[in-house]
Each structure stands twice: as C-alpha cells, then as structure tokens.
Amino acid sequence: MKSQLEHCFSIHSQRLLRFAIKMAYRYHLPIEAAEDAVQECYVKFQEVFASGKRHLIADSVYGWLSKTLRNHLINVKKSKIQQSLSLNHTLKYILEPVCSYSYNPQQELEQSEMREKVQEWLKTLSPERAEVVYLRVYENFSITETAQILNIEEGTVKSRLSRAIENLKLYMQDRSDHAASSVSA
C-alpha cells in the first residue's frame, strides 16, 4: 500500500511543485512556503488514503492535490504564518552598499525613494516577466532552474529578464524626467 501511495503521489509531485511555486508567487509567499505546502499536501494525501476515503480523490488525483495545495497556501497567507514578501527588506541588500555602517539620512532617503520606484515598477511588469524577476532576483535561482520551474526554455528566461531590465531603465528614466519637469514647473 505504501508503494502504491508513493507512486501515485510521485507521478504528480513535480507538476504540483511548479503549481505551488506559482501560487506562492501570486500570494507573495517565499518558495519555502510552497515546499511546505507540497509536504502538507502529501501528509493529507496519506491521511485520506489511510482513512479509507479514497473515493474523495478517485476522480482526479491531481485536481484534489492542487485544490488542497491552493487552500493550504490561502490559509498560510490569511493567518500570516509566513511573512509576506517584503520588497523593502529584500531590496535593502540590492540597493544599499555592502559595507555601509554609518547612518546617512540623505542616503537613507534616496534609497527609500529608489525602493519605492522599484516597487512601483514591479507592478507595471507583465506577470510572465515579474515571475522571472522574482525567481532570479529574490529567490536566487539560476537561469536553468528558473526555466525548469516555469517549464520554459532558458532563452525565454533570458529574454524576459533582459526585457524587464530594459523596462526598468525606461521606467526610471521616465520617472526622473517626470520629476525634473515637475520641479522646473
């Protein structure tokens, strides 16, 4: 029975993990939340099998697994067990100098404004590009890993990332031009 259960779950595990990562991204949860959700889903799957209620999942194993997974991630988001993605905290390491130990109010203000601009920019990206940026920058996945997670070609990942960076440059330039024109007016 154990091998039958493991075989049934293993058939859907990779597909379920990709689905979990996408759902975690949508709910602004870290990748660890997706991995935990898959484990919880497996535990519930075992419980259903052990309790003899197999008829609950007989029609569509993947459908039951994905519904259980989605519900678990929604519960995690609602109960705030996991901290949501804090863009300011994450970008702190990207935008601040590595060895900055002294407090500089002007620099702190500039960095805060930059974080706000980047956060606004992320909202303007298409979901496909935002997904690639999230996995590459915030979760530190390689291009190959990102391609595997999203089930796309490596060239597509590189293209989306490149276009997102170009979009960022244009967005920042537009914002600085807009700020300069409003100051002179």
Tens-place pLDDT, residues 47-59: 887 777 766 666 6
Q: How far is Cα 89 from Cα 100, in angstroms, rounded to an integer?
A: 16
- Residue scoring higher pLDDT (124 or 6): 124
pLDDT of 44 over the 90 cut:
no
Residue 148's pLDDT is what? 86
Residue 64's pLDDT is what? 78
Residue 153's pLDDT is what? 92
Q: Which CATH architecture has domain 87-184?
A: Orthogonal Bundle (1.10)
Tens-place pLDDT, residues 69-89: 888 887 877 765 434 444 445
Residue 155's pLDDT is what? 93
Residue 94's pLDDT is what? 52
Angle CA(151)–CA(30)–CA(99) in degrees, nearest 5?
A: 110
- Residue scoring higher pLDDT (166 or 77): 166
pTM here?
A: 0.41
Residues 68 and 9 sit within 8 Å (Cβ to Cβ): no
Tens-place pLDDT, residues 92-115: 555 555 445 566 778 778 877 777
- Residue scoring higher pLDDT (44 or 178): 44
CB atoms within 10 A of CB 20: 26
User: Residue type for 45, please?
Assistant: F
Q: Which residues contact 163 (CB under 8 A, 6 or more apart)?
A: 129
Across 34-38, 75-79, 165-169, least confident range: 75-79
Q: What is the location of CATH 1.10.10.10 in the chain?
A: 87-184
How far CA 23 is from CA of 29, 34, 173, 182, in Å, comes to: 8, 8, 32, 40
Average pLDDT, the chain: 74
Residue 125's pLDDT is what? 83
Mean of pLDDT values over 125-142? 83
CB atoms within 10 A of CB 159: 14
- The rounded percent of the chain whose pLDDT value lies above 90 is 4
Q: Which of 35-39, 61-65, 180-184 has the highest mean pLDDT?
A: 35-39
- Residue-by-residue DSSP string for the chain: -HHHHHHHHHHHHHHHHHHHHHHHHHTT--HHHHHHHHHHHHHHHHHHHHHT-GGGTSS-HHHHHHHHHHHHHHHHHHHT-SPPP-HHHHHHHHHS-TT--S--HHHHHHHHHHHHHHHHHHHHS-HHHHHHHIIIIIS---HHHHHHHHTS-HHHHHHHHHHHHHHHHHHHHHHHHHHHHHHH-
